[in-house]
Chain A
Amino acid sequence: MSGSADLHRRLWKENADLARASLEHPFVQGLAQGDLDQDAFRRYVAQDAFFLRAFHRAYALAAAKCGPVTPLAILRRVESLMTGVLDELDLHAGYAEELGIDLDRVDPHPATFAYTDFLLRTAWEGEPGEIFASMTPCMRLYAWLGQELEEHDHPGNPYHEWIRTYGSEEFAGLADEMESLLDELAEDTDAVRDAYRYAMVCERDFFSAPLGRGE
């Protein structure tokens, strides 16, 4: 469990192109401007709820692989991140009720399956370091997008709540937590770099799906 202190920063920097592609994505810009089609947002919430269930399972598998002498402090942090996912799912349930979506009957888009299959394949097959590398982009990217969008946010934006959630200090804290786990558990290997980058690709494609552009 050696890890490398700066790994999360290096990976984030190396994938800045993909982070920017997400920020500039029409879906995200639609959230920022407040003019995103509500049906697209509805589809996004449904897909994201499906995704988050897989994300939660991936944490559980990572925790199961942490080994018998893993410090309790680490396991406690994993547990707090898992709780964070459940809180996010509660938030989605709130949206779903408002928007009239049945989250138990989601028909996952190919881009959603691509992402969840990748996460779960990694979670079942990989070491904890690789698993966290596949999961970190989701946290860091959303925290970053939330903060970027918050600069021009205002309560009149119909997506104000979404921006406020991911731009919050609380969510940034979860992303920090995730990155420190990554630094502690992951080595700078090809598998780790590849998992991180591919997750960033999946994130970008995930935003295309609700606009009907994903494949």
Chain B
Amino acid sequence: MGHDFDRSRLAVGAGDLWEEATRARFLDAVGDGTLPEEAFDRWLVQDYRFVSGLSRFVALTVAKTPREAQRVVIGGLAALDEELEWFEDHAEERGLDLDAEPHPVCRRYVDYLIAAGYGEPMEVLLAILYGVEVAYTVGWGRLEAEGPYAEFIERWTHPDFQAYVAELRDLADAHRHPDQQEHFDRVMEHERAFWRMTWEG
């Protein structure tokens, strides 16, 4: 992998939260092939709702980002559009209703992102976005890409996705702000809660 995200400034600064946000019963069960379908379906619908909110957050980030950083974030936004489509295809295959109510945990996470997207400065938004994406690639990256969910594991461990996350890390480091850690930590808290929800319902 080579990016060593575990040792990035914000991940180290998050302390125990970093581990708690990137390790989950849900992921372990994906890895050893014991994940109940019902949990996977719940994750798929809620993650779709989350990504819909995330794409609005990233659009707000694009609007606040200086020119030299925009290419990276605009690229991320385009990838999310493609990801939403990919979720829609999978949901159709599995007969899932993507308009289902968001779980309260999902709702809180999106409320947080949108409120921050409007109210916080660009430097903080970059730290938040790095947090969201790095937690995902590291969490899924602890698994071997095999078993019934190999396609999903591959998606978030793909070298292109990891290169994007590394660029976000570098942008957050290049545009420092004293509130970055606090918000990175809040993202980790939301990630931890989200994983618990996918497992427990």
Contact = CB atoms under 8 A, between A and B. Distances in A.
A51 B121 CA distance: 21
A117 interface: yes
Interface string B93-137: 000000000000001101110110011000000000000000000
B114 A121 contact: yes
Nearest to B108: A114
Contacts of A121: 110-112, 114-115
Nearest to A118: B111
A119 to B, nearest CB: 8
Give the interface residue-count category, chain A. 10 to 19
Does more than half of chain A's interface fall in helix, strand or loop, or is it mixed? Answer: helix
A126 to B, nearest CB: 11
Contacts of B112: 113, 117, 121
A117 B189 contact: no
Contact of A120 (B110, B119, B186, B189): B119
Contact of A125 (B107, B108, B114, B189): B114
Contacts of B114: 121, 124-125
Interface in A104-139: 110, 113-114, 116-118, 120-121, 124-125
Contacts of A117: 108, 111-112, 115
A118 B114 CA distance: 9
A116 B115 CA distance: 9
Contacts, number: 31
Contacts of A124: 114-115, 118-119
B13 to A, nearest CB: 17
Interface string B61-90: 000000000000000000000000000000
B145 to A, nearest CB: 34
Interface in B178-196: 186, 189
Nearest to A205: B104
A113 B119 CA distance: 14
- Residue of B107, B108, B118 most packed against chain A (CB within 10 A): B108
A71 to B, nearest CB: 27
Contacts of A198: 107
A113 B107 CA distance: 12
Interface in A6-45: none
A198 B101 CA distance: 13
A114 B115 contact: no
A120 B115 contact: yes
Contacts of B118: 120, 124-125
Contacts of B108: 110, 113-114, 117-118
A198 B186 CA distance: 22
A125 B57 CA distance: 12
B195 to A, nearest CB: 15
A133 B10 CA distance: 37
A124 B189 CA distance: 23
A114 B108 CA distance: 6
Nearest to B56: A125
A110 B189 contact: yes
Interface string A125-159: 10000000000000000000000000000000000
B144 to A, nearest CB: 33
A116 B118 CA distance: 14
Interface in A68-111: 110
25 contacts: A110-B108, A110-B189, A113-B186, A114-B108, A114-B111, A116-B115, A117-B108, A117-B112, A117-B115, A118-B107, A118-B108, A118-B111, A120-B111, A120-B115, A120-B118, A121-B111, A121-B112, A121-B114, A121-B115, A124-B115, A124-B118, A124-B119, A125-B114, A125-B118, A198-B107
> What are the nearest 9 A-B pairs in CB distance?
A120-B115, A124-B118, A117-B111, A121-B111, A121-B114, A117-B112, A121-B115, A117-B115, A118-B111
Interface of B: 107-108, 110-112, 114-115, 118-119, 186, 189
